[in-house]
Structure 1
Amino acid sequence: MKIKPFFLSISMLSVLAFSSFAQNSESSTTKTINLKQMSLIGQVDERYQSFNVEMCEVIGGDFWIPYNLIDSVRKVSKKTGFAALKWKIEPINLYEKKLRNLATALGPTYVRVSGTWANAIYFQDNDDIPLANPPAGFKNILTRSQWKGVVDFCKAVDGKLVSSFPISEGVRDKDGNWSPKNVKSIMDYTKSIGGEIVAAEMFNEPSHANHGDAPKGYNGETYAKDFSVFESFVKKEFPAMKILGPGSTGEGGILPSGLDIPIDKILGASPKPTFEVFTYHYYGTVSQRCMGGQKPAMALSNEWLSKTEKGLEFYQNMRDKYMPNTPIWLTETAETACGGNPMAATYIDTFRYLEQLGRLAKKGVQVVMHNTLARSEYALLDHDTHTPRPNYWAALLWNKLMGTQVYDAGTSTNGVDIFTHNLKGKSEGRAVLVVNTNDTVASIEIPSNGKLYLLTADELLSKKVKLNGKELSLTDDDTIPAIKGTSLKKGKIQLPAQSIAFLTFTKI
Structure 2
Amino acid sequence: MTRRTGIALVAFLAAGITAPALGAGQRSSGLSSLPATGTVDPRFLSYNIEMAEVTGGNFWKPYSAPPAGGPKAYRGPIDLDSAKLRHLAAALAPAYVRYSGTWANATWFADAEAAPAKAPAGFDTVLTRQQWRSAVSFAKASDAKIVTSFASSLGTRDAAGVWQTDTAARWLAYTRQIGGTIAAAEFVNEPSVIQLTQPPKGYTPEDYRRDYARFVGWIRKASPQTLIVAPGTAELAEPARSIMRKSQTVWENEQLLALDSPKPDVFSFHFYSAISLRCGGAMMGSALAKATSPALLDSVDAAIALVTHDRDRLAPGKPIWNTESAEGACGGNPWAATFADSFRFVDTLGRSARQGVRVFMHNTLAASDYALLDEKDFSPRPNYWAAVLWKRTMGTTVLAPPVTPSPEFRVYAHCLPGKKGGVGLAAVNVGDTPQEIAVGPRAQAWVLTAPAIDSKALSVNGQAPSLATNGSLAGLDAVPVAGSLTVPGKGIVFVAVAGAGNRACR
TM-score (norm 1): 0.90
Contact 2:465 2:476 in 1 (8 A): no
Residue of structure 2 in register with 1:469 after alignment: 462
Residue of structure 2 in register with 1:392 after alignment: 384
Give the 3 Å change call, closer, same or farther, for CA 476–154 of structure 1 in structure 2. closer
Contact 2:99 2:146 in 1 (8 A): yes
* 1:93 has 2:42 as partner: no
Give the 3 Å change call, closer, same or farther, for CA 235–458 of structure 1 in structure 2. same
Residue of structure 1 in register with 2:24 after alignment: none
Residue of structure 2 in register with 1:26 after alignment: none
Residue of structure 2 in register with 1:170 after alignment: 155
Query: SS at 1:303's partner residue?
Result: helix
Residue of structure 1 in register with 2:91 after alignment: 105
Query: SS at 2:397's partner residue?
Result: strand
Contact 1:11 1:470 in 2 (8 A): no
* 1:214 has 2:214 as partner: no
1:61 aligned partner, one-letter code? G
Name the CA distance, whole Å, in 1 between partners of 2:187 and 2:133: 21
* 1:267 has 2:253 as partner: no
Name the CA distance, whole Å, in 1 between partners of 2:206 and 2:418: 46
Residue of structure 2 in register with 1:382 after alignment: 374
Give the 3 Å change call, closer, same or farther, for CA 33–414 of structure 1 in structure 2. farther
How far off is 1:367 after superposition?
A: 0.3
* 1:419 has 2:444 as partner: no
How far off is 1:131 after superposition?
A: 1.3
1:86 aligned partner, one-letter code? K
How far off is 1:456 after superposition?
A: 0.5
How far off is 1:411 after superposition?
A: 5.5
How far off is 1:441 after superposition?
A: 1.1
Query: SS at 1:320's partner residue?
Result: helix
* 1:291 has 2:280 as partner: yes
How far off is 1:482 after superposition?
A: 5.2
Residue of structure 1 in register with 2:333 after alignment: 341
Residue of structure 1 in register with 2:358 after alignment: 366
Name the CA distance, whole Å, in 2 between partners of 1:466 and 1:184: 48
How far off is 1:478 after superposition?
A: 5.7
Give the 3 Å change call, closer, same or farther, for CA 322–251 of structure 1 in structure 2. farther
* Aligned-CA RMSD value: 2.1
Name the CA distance, whole Å, in 2 between partners of 1:265 and 1:411: 40
Question: What does 1:187-266 align with in structure 2 at a 5 Å threshold?
Answer: 187-250=172-235, 253=238, 255=241, 256-257=243-244, 258-266=248-256
* 1:278 has 2:263 as partner: no
Deviations 1:431-477 (A, max 9, x none): 11111111011122332211111101110100011011112223355
How far off is 1:313 after superposition?
A: 1.1
Contact 1:250 1:282 in 2 (8 A): yes
Give the 3 Å change call, closer, same or farther, for CA 225–251 of structure 1 in structure 2. farther
Query: SS at 1:177's partner residue?
Result: coil
* 1:147 has 2:132 as partner: yes
How far off is 1:428 after superposition?
A: 1.1
Deviations 1:19-53 (A, max 9, x none): 479xxxxxxxxx98411221001111000000000
Q: How many residues align?
A: 478
Residue of structure 2 in register with 1:27 after alignment: none
Give the 3 Å change call, closer, same or farther, for CA 217–411 of structure 1 in structure 2. farther
Name the CA distance, whole Å, in 2 between partners of 1:180 and 1:327: 27
1:405 aligned partner, one-letter code? T
* 1:319 has 2:314 as partner: no
After TM superposition, the structure 1 stretch with the greater mean CA deviation from structure 2, 171-180 or 441-450, is 441-450
* 1:353 has 2:345 as partner: yes
Residue of structure 2 in register with 1:34 after alignment: 30
* 1:483 has 2:476 as partner: yes
After TM superposition, the structure 1 stretch with the greater mean CA deviation from structure 2, 461-470 or 421-430, is 421-430
Query: SS at 1:18's partner residue?
Result: coil
Name the CA distance, whole Å, in 2 between partners of 1:104 and 1:285: 29
User: Mind listing any 5+ residue stretches in structure 1 that lack a counterpart?
Assistant: 1-8, 22-30
How far off is 1:480 after superposition?
A: 1.5
User: Mind listing any 5+ residue stretches in structure 2 that lack a counterpart?
Assistant: 1-8, 22-26, 501-506
Name the CA distance, whole Å, in 2 between partners of 1:369 and 1:279: 11
How far off is 1:215 after superposition?
A: 2.1
After TM superposition, the structure 1 stretch with the greater mean CA deviation from structure 2, 310-319 or 377-386, is 310-319
Contact 2:464 2:475 in 1 (8 A): no
Contact 1:251 1:314 in 2 (8 A): no
Query: SS at 2:179's partner residue?
Result: coil
Give the 3 Å change call, closer, same or farther, for CA 164–15 of structure 1 in structure 2. closer
Name the CA distance, whole Å, in 1 between partners of 2:263 and 2:201: 24
Contact 1:119 1:204 in 2 (8 A): yes
